Structure 1
Amino acid sequence: MDRGKIVSLEEGWTYMSNGITKLKRILEGAVEQFNSEEYMMLYTTIYNMCTQKPPNDYSQQLYDKYKEAIEDYIRTTVLPAIREKHDEFMLRELVKRWANHKLMVRWLSRFFHYLDRYFIARRSLPALFDVGLTCFRDLVFDEVHAKAKDAVLDVINKEREGEQIDRALLKNVLDIFVEIGMQSMEKYENDFEEHMLKDSASYYSLKASNWILEDSCPDYLIKASSWTLIFKKVQHELLVVYATQLLEKEQSGCRALLRDDKVDDLSRMYRLYHKITKGLEPVAAIFKQHITAEGTVLVQQAEDAASSQASTGGVQEQVLIRKILELHDKYMEYVKDCFQNHTLFHKALKEAFEIFCNKTVAGSSSAELLATFCDNTLKKGGSEKLSDEAIEDTLEKVVKLLAYISDKDLFAEFYRKKLARRLLFDKSANDDHERSILTKLKQQCGGQFTSKMEGMVTDLTLAKENQTGFEDYLANPQVTHPGIDLSVNVLTTGFWPSYKSSDLNLPAEMVRGVQVFKDFYDQKSKHRKLTWIYSLGSCHILGKFDAKSIELIVTTYQAAILLLFNSADRLSYSEIATQSNLAQEDLVRVLHSLSCNKYKVLQKDPISKTVSQTDHFEFNKKFTDKMRRIRIPLPPVDERKKVVEDVDKDRRYAIDAAIVRIMKSRKVLSHQNLVSECVEQLSRMFKPDIKAIKKRIEDLISRDYLERDKENPNTFKYLA
């Protein structure tokens, strides 16, 4: 054919028809093949006819003729060949014709490949291969499947009666029932399996009705027993012998089914293997490995993203927790729906999550990440805008995730720190959600876990009542007003995280306020001592600049420094240090926030991005901002180290208490048993280090709580 000229539909199809005729001869047994030149010409003919400009683009016509060619072959050759045969001979012909048909479709799909790639893709039409299989289903299978089913059942019954049968033939026929469903088992189940089960029931019902008339009770039971044994043997041969090979199949085994979300196939796998002793163990093992691998990938992705320049402000870590929650949702559904809530799969899920949920990301432990995730969910303007129902649902899932984290005490301490900030700085979005998660944590981890947190929430409620009382007190004309608006939160020391109390020299304006509140509080409670935590305070002060006055929202530390400039135009670092009495690290942070960051309320000499002890500072009269009110933040302090230190200290006390508690009840115990009981008791809150336990045992011996047995140094006695 001349490649340069337009190929008409008639001319092109005549050429293709000759090629299809040759293909039919090959399928019918002719000893000939396509050479590479013939194959390329057939492919090129289709290509040319599809790429010619309209009206000579014959894509749609060729798509239709492809189907017509297959249907014509089926009607003229395939159906007559099958119709003239019966029983097993018909089954053999069906198997042969199905194999030939798949071959024909494969070859034609290659010739017409250009249609598949462009025309079909653009029009969202069924692919050529699917069209070919559908033709066989509609014209052949729908006509013969009932006869085929009957013929297969006859063959099965022959085997039941002891005859030798062609099992390969049976397998090939049943493969047609499966393959014709095109990714669905519906055809197999409806057109064969359902009938086979009924037929089997009828067969054994007939057997039983004959035996009951002819046989004694023992003989009947012997026969029934042998059929049960046959069933077990079949089960063993089909499922046990090839279990490893079957479950590990690369493209379709258990891993592949999990990867491709084949819920129905996994349910079927469960139903078959749960009847077999220990049959589910390898399935559960693969389930665990699969979840572990998916979770580990998520952790690694977060680690990579956090270490790259693109990551800011722990966003990736927050995304990680969200993804882990989604992963848990997904596989908990598998446990419930596919694996019928079987304990093996609950255990596999738990063990998998315990592996990757206890890895660190960008230096942060999973306990810290989870606490930060909760903080973002619960605070005003958090990372996501969620409805109340969605927040409640998220909190429920977070608490479930906490069950997999070994350092629950570390989570509690991070959570408590963040809860304190939300409560004290009015950052909490919703009090009901705060109480709700505490209830959930209490149910999961016990009352001791949440007692301090609940105390914090209660403290804030009492503090509001206390503030109302203070305002009523100030309304009394006999009381000297402090000259400033003052709001005080009185908190219970034991509930809240430990905060550094500093000997800040308060400005005179603040001293009056503190004294007035102390007078009010002493009236209410003579026996309680107030310790002022200035590091948590905040102030609203008015900055009078040349351009305009601006309200500044600052910390108590920042306010104390700024108020020094009411009585001095210029101060040195050392003068500010002396007058404020702030610790060096706090003073540097405060001066940096006021002179080096976005809002340069103070002018630093010399100008630089760091604060040194030789610097001088002046009030910046020229400062201005488009806003009437601005918040000047302090650089954040990394509290991670302090939290970890506090938790380590608490763990020492917890280990001591556990050892004493165990020894008090047991009196005498070996070293190994004492350590293992201690680990068991403490593992609900954290994973105790064996070396730490040994160290605490030695310390308790030195403090005369325990003593070593004189005859056996590896045994300890409790000293009352």
Structure 2
Amino acid sequence: MVISQIKAMEEGWAIMEDGIAKVKNILEELESQFSSEEYMRLYTYPSRIFYKIYYVNPSLRDKHDEFMLRELVRRWSDHKVMVKWLSRFLSYLDRYFVVRKKIESVKDHGFSCFRDMAYGEVKHKAKDAVIALVNKEREGGQIDRALLKNVLDVFVEMGKGKIEFYTDDFEDAMLKDTAHYYSRKASQWIFQDSCPDYMLKVEECLKTEKNRVSHYLHSSSETKLLEQVENELLVVYANQLLEKETGCRALLRDDKVDELSRMYRLFHNIPKGLEEVAKIFKEHVHSEGLMAIQMIEDATFNKTEKAGGARGEHALMTTFIELHNKYSAYTTGCFCNNAVLHKALKQAFESFCNQVVCGTSNADHLASYCDYILKKGGSEKISDEAIDESMDKIVKLLAYISDKDLFAEFSRKKLSRRLLFDRNVNDDHERLFLTKLKQQCGGQCTSKMEGMVTDLALAKENQNQFHEYLINNNAAIPGMDLTVNVLTTGFWPTYKTCDLRLPAEMVKCVQVFKEHYEAKTKHRKLTWIYSLGTCSINGKFDSKTIELVVGTYQGAVLLLFNDAQRLSYSDIKTQLNFEDDDLMRVLHSLSCSKYKILKKDPDSKFVSPNDYFEFNSKFTDKMRRIRIPLPVVDDRKKVIQDVDNDRRYSIDAALVRIMKGRKILGHQQLILECVEMLSHMFKPDVKVIKKRIEDLLARDYLERDAENPNLYKYVA
């Protein structure tokens, strides 16, 4: 029985050897495919035979470099075909014996044999040969990419669905070699190339390595390979590259948009790569802003004008807007709206937009520039589209100014003058500005200004009613037309009042309107602000009659000379009940300015209490209607003082609101929350906050904790 089993095995193995020999010949194309009889013979006999094949050909050991790679690819391809045939021949074993014994299948065993005997022997040589060909290609040489693809597929296929063999036996060494290669290149390029040229080479290298992955490396290598290139070419030399003479500052200075875009593309992928770019960007924009400020201050000091004759504050704001347009385009275009670069731009503008220029805050300068634009728009020198665009730019610039409440107050003062004195004011433009300002700063900022615009609209209705009253009551004012604007005190800025003794002609006007207004309402009190009034007076000079457009104060002084040829300073002051500072301004405008309606004795450029005045009948002018302005009073200090007072109230309200919600809060936390709550309108001074806390403690809105004095409690 044993002898027959051995004989059967020997016969079966002989048949298998013949079959294996024929498989080899088929692979070598020396014979044709198996016939049906041969296939069935091979399938039937080896039902109990175990095979083991060692597929190591001496040609693999003897060949080197590219020749060895080709032989490896060929042998692996042949081996897969042989394993396929053997799997068919021994399929009975796979179905029964392998399953019962829980051992490797024929196919897996054939694969293991190649991996352990053939691949294991040549993998190091293959790795070195592939890396050598990769470096050859990097240096511009021609290589067989298809061969490398096939070789690396062998590395991948050894993992049977996993890439651990590819990673361990090839990729790790390839990445290390890549790092060495580009480290050598970077050390040469950083000294011999300009920043733009260096970046071009880096971009080309990254593109080449990415293509290399698509042609023959495994896709999983792409991220790791590019990281190696970026690390050696960019991370290691980032500061040195950006600080080059031809580096980031030079690109910003020379407006090299394409190069800046390339810089962003390269540096935004590396860890913290944009931080140094953002730092340089911020410093550059900051220096540009300081340069603009210095030019305006120098021009002011030298009493010269810049920007086509525009006033210095207008030129400064125009420059700021141009800078913002330019560098905003950089952040959205070159820097792809990156948050790090946007933050750098914001910090740069905040740094110089909040500086004092020529003794005045930029909140005031921006309000004056806005006033200038709206006046031009009212006179139709600027289109509606241009006004809309200008307002957008102004509001964007306002975002960087911390004292938004100060801007709002200066804007309110200037709006009042436009509404009251500018006949060309455009209501649509004014409302457009208030809408944009409201979006930026909130409704609290614009509520008073919106009330002012509404007041002027209502004033027109009141004026029509007044005219009807004059007609219906036969209360016409002889020789005079009267227009009165009734304003709501809470909306408008505070103006200086004067108990002026009006000339008889003006007294009649006031009495008639007062009767009309009191008949309409009895719950409101009229307070006359003569400093805001204007009047037109016909001056009958020797040469011709000239219409003089003057303020109420000026008109009152001129009307005195209907009854007197010569009056002293003290006579005018007594008759009209003027204060000295107001009277000197009025008399200076009428006797020392361009339009000398009054002659002053003695003749000088200044008004003194000892002067005498008389009507200048010899005055003449080529115009038949002239406007005589009063000298401008600088009320900036008063505006700032009013804003400071309002800030104290705002701080009090914020502190109470916080404590009402929190009930108990520590000192530092209360200050931090107060600063955060108010920062959208102004940056509160911590010292002032502390004083307001003490005041609230004194007024029993808050109380200190008995055990912890730094803890406050809200008193309901």
TM-score, normalized by length of structure 2?
Answer: 0.71
Alignment of 1:158-307 (within 5 A): 197-204=210-217, 224=220, 228-251=223-246, 253-307=247-301
CA contact (8 A) 1:705 1:719 kept: yes
Match of 2:384 in 1: 388
**1:16 is matched with which residue?**
none
523-532 or 305-314, which moves further after superposition? Answer: 305-314
Counterpart of 1:242, as a letter, is Y
For the pair 1:699 / 2:695, whether they are aligned, the reply is yes
CA distance in 2, matches of 1:643, 1:169: 63
- Picking from 439, 452, 467, the partner of 1:443 is 439
1:408 matched to 2:404? The reply is yes
In the TM superposition, what is the alpha-carbon distance from 1:385 to its structure 2 partner?
A: 4.4
SS where residue 692 of structure 1 aligns? helix
Moved more, 470-479 or 619-628: 470-479
| Residue in structure 1 matched with residue 679 of structure 2 by the alignment | 683
- In the TM superposition, residue 235 of structure 1 has moved relative to its aligned partner by 2.8
Q: Percent of aligned positions with the same letter in both sequences?
A: 62
CA 1:712–1:603: 2 relative to 1, 3 Å = same
Cα distance in 2 between the residues matched to 1:623 and 1:316: 34
Q: For 1:622-637, what aligned pairs fall within 5 Å after superposition?
A: 622-637=618-633
Counterpart position of 1:419: 415
Q: CA deviation at 1:713?
A: 2.4
Superposed, which structure 2 residues align to 1:35-434 within 5 Å? 151-152=140-141, 154=143, 197-204=210-217, 224=220, 228-251=223-246, 253-311=247-305, 315-380=311-376, 385-434=381-430
1:139-172 Cα distance to aligned partner (Å, 9 max, x none): xxxxxxxx99994464997998969899599969
Contact residue 377 and residue 384 of structure 1 kept, 8 A:
no
- The one-letter code matched in structure 1 to 2:357 is V
Q: CA deviation at 1:339?
A: 1.5
- Equivalences for 1:495-574 in 2 at 5 Å? 495-574=491-570
Matching of residues 631-670 of structure 1 within 5 Å: 631-670=627-666
What RMSD over aligned residues (CA atoms) do the two structures have, in Å? Answer: 3.3
Query: Match of 2:448?
Result: 452
Give, in angstroms, the shift of residue 233 of structure 1.
3.0
- Residues 378 and 424 of structure 2 are in contact (CA less than 8 Å); yes or no, is this contact kept in structure 1? no
Native 8 Å contact 1:554 1:633 kept in 2: yes
Is the Cα–Cα contact under 8 Å of residues 601 and 613 in structure 2 kept in the other structure? yes
Cα distance between partner residues in 1 of 2:376 and 2:331:
36
On the 8 A contact 1:658/1:678 being kept in 2, the answer is yes
Encode CA deviations 1:667-716: one digit per residue, 9 max, x unaligned.
22222112111111111111111111111122222222222233322222
Distance 1:256 1:480, change over 3 A: closer
Residue equivalent to 1:585: 581
- AA partner of residue 282 (structure 2): K
Q: Could you tell me whether the CA contact under 8 Å between 2:209 and 2:226 is conserved in 1?
A: no
* C-alpha separation in 2, matches of 1:670 and 1:195: 60
- The alpha-carbon deviation at position 318 of structure 1 amounts to 1.1
Shift, 1:606, TM fit: 1.4
Q: Is the 8 A contact 1:482 1:516 kept in 2?
A: no
Task: Give the letter aligned to residue 610 of structure 1.
Answer: F
User: What letter is aligned with 2:576?
Assistant: S
Q: Using a 3 Å threshold, how does the CA distance of structure 1 residues 588 and 658 change in structure 2: closer, same or farther?
A: same
Give yes or no for contact 2:585–2:630 (8 Å, CA) kept in 1: yes
Tell me the alpha carbon deviations over residues 508-530 of structure 1, each in whole angstroms, 9 at most, x when there is no partner. Answer: 11111111111211222221111
Counterpart in the other structure of 2:10: none
Q: Is the 8 A contact 1:306 1:317 kept in 2?
A: no
| Letter paired with 1:294 | E
Residues 468 and 184 of structure 1, relative CA distance in 2, 3 Å threshold? farther
* CA shift for structure 1 position 557: 0.3
TM-score normalised per structure 1: 0.71
Task: Tell me which residue corresponds to 2:93.
Answer: none
Q: Distance in 2 between matches of 1:675 and 1:459?
A: 39
- Greater shift after overlay, 152-161 or 693-702? 152-161
What residue identity is the alignment partner of 1:243?
Answer: A
Structure 1 residue 461, shift from structure 2 partner: 0.8
Gap regions ≥5 residues in structure 1 = 1-146, 209-223
Deviation at 1:189, TM superposition (A): 8.3
| Number of equivalenced pairs | 551
Structure 1 residue 487 displacement after superposition:
0.6
Distance 1:478 1:396, change over 3 A: same
Does the CA-based 8 Å contact 1:306-1:314 persist in structure 2? no
Residues 385-440 of structure 1, C-alpha deviations (whole Å, 9 max, x = no match): 43332222111011010000010011001111011101100255422211111110
SS at match of 1:554: strand
Report how far residue 239 of structure 1 moved.
2.1
The answer to whether the 8 A contact 1:483-1:509 is kept is: no
Deviations 1:67-112 (A, max 9, x none): xxxxxxxxxxxxxxxxxxxxxxxxxxxxxxxxxxxxxxxxxxxxxx
Q: 1:701 to 1:197 in 2, by over 3 A?
A: closer
**CA distances 1:463-487 after superposition (whole Å, capped 9, x unpaired):** 1111111112222254354541001
Give the whole-Å Cα distance in 2 for the aligned partners of 1:237 and 1:168: 6
Task: Give the Cα–Cα distance (whole angstroms) in 1 for the partners of residues 596 and 500 of structure 2.
Answer: 23
Cα distance, 1:568 vs structure 2? 1.5
Note if 1:610 corresponds to 2:623.
Answer: no
Query: Aligned in 2, Cα 1:370/1:428: closer, same or farther, shift over 3 Å?
Result: farther
The one-letter code matched in structure 2 to 1:710 is A
